[in-house]
Amino acid sequence: MSLTMRAVEAEAWKALDTALQATRAPCAGDNAFIQDTFTEDEKTRLRAICGSCPIVSLCDDYARHVTAGFWAGKQRGFKKGNS
């Protein structure tokens, strides 16, 4: 049985949420990750933080469904130039 996109998103969130309960992500408490816009310097800093994150793969799986913020080393919410 194939999953709907919403079910895939829900499963990805459940996996990430479970990991976040067991692991303190390096972005925890850093409001820079939830901005609407990012400078190149900010993106470089945030990318480095994500690069040390033990749950980056789970974060990336969920982040495919988000439309804003900085997740798993990438700015989300832009059709072109996500980086």
Give the count of alpha carbons within 13 A of 46, CB side only: 25
CB closer to ligand SF4, 1 vs 34: 34
Q: At closest approach, how far in Å is the CB of 70 from ligand SF4?
A: 6
Q: Is residue 12 part of the contact set for ligand SF4 (CB under 6 A)?
A: no
Structure letter (DSSP) for residue 6: H
Give the count of alpha carbons within 13 A of 55, CB side only: 21
Q: At closest approach, how far in Å is the CB of 2 from ligand SF4?
A: 27
The Cβ of residue 5 has, within 10 Å, a number of other Cβ atoms equal to 9
CB closer to ligand SF4, 12 vs 71: 71
Answer positive or negative: Cα dihedral of 70, 83, 64, 23. Answer: negative
Q: Is residue 72 part of the contact set for ligand SF4 (CB under 6 A)?
A: yes
Q: Of the ranges 1-9, 19-27, 36-44, 74-82, which one interacts with ligand SF4 (CB under 6 A)?
A: 19-27
Q: At closest approach, how far in Å is the CB of 37 from ligand SF4?
A: 17
| 53 contacts 59 by C-beta, under 8 angstroms | yes
